[in-house]
Amino acid sequence: MRALVARANIEPAEMSDEDLERVGALAEKLGDTQLRSHVFGARSGAAFERHCFHEAAAWSERRLALLSDVDDPDQLCEAYESGVPAALAVGRVGEARRLTGLHRDLSQRLSPHHQLHDFAVARDRRRSG
């Protein structure tokens, strides 16, 4: 199941809604918050790729609501990073700024790889709003 979720996060447009629903239902049943977070991220990414921006933002918001139970800093960074374009796409500039700040604060304590992503997140947000 984790492989399917990983695939969905790498190529969200390649996953069917039925596959994402099945994986999401299983993650719910298992009570695995981190897996649910990844599924919500994949659903947000898939909706964004289909230009269903309000749907993408809704899945992103659901994911962000779970983060108090997620302790993996890499997953937190990814959730903040992927939430920025979803928020911007529906005109929530303040939310995009908030997520950019959360991403920046966390990424600065992590690896150079995360810091590079922070640079890209900040650049993209500045371009959009």
* CATH code of 109's domain: 1.25.40.10
Residue 127 has pLDDT above 60, yes or no: no
Domains identified in the chain, total number: 1
> What are 4-57's pLDDT values in tens digits?
667 766 776 677 778 888 888 888 888 888 888 988 998 998 899 889 999 999
Which residue range(s) make up the domain with 107?
2-128
Task: Give the separation between CA 32 and CA 26, rounded to whole angstroms.
Answer: 9
Average pLDDT, rounded, for the chain: 82
Tell me how many degrees the CA angle 76-47-38 measures, rounded to the nearest 5.
30
Residue-level pLDDT at 114: 56
Q: How confident is the model at residue 88 (pLDDT cuts 50, 70, 90)?
A: very high
Contacts of 27 (CB under 8 A, 6+ apart): 1, 5, 35, 36, 38, 39
Residue-level pLDDT at 119: 54
pTM for this predicted structure: 0.81
Q: Are 38 and 79 within 8 A, CB to CB?
A: no
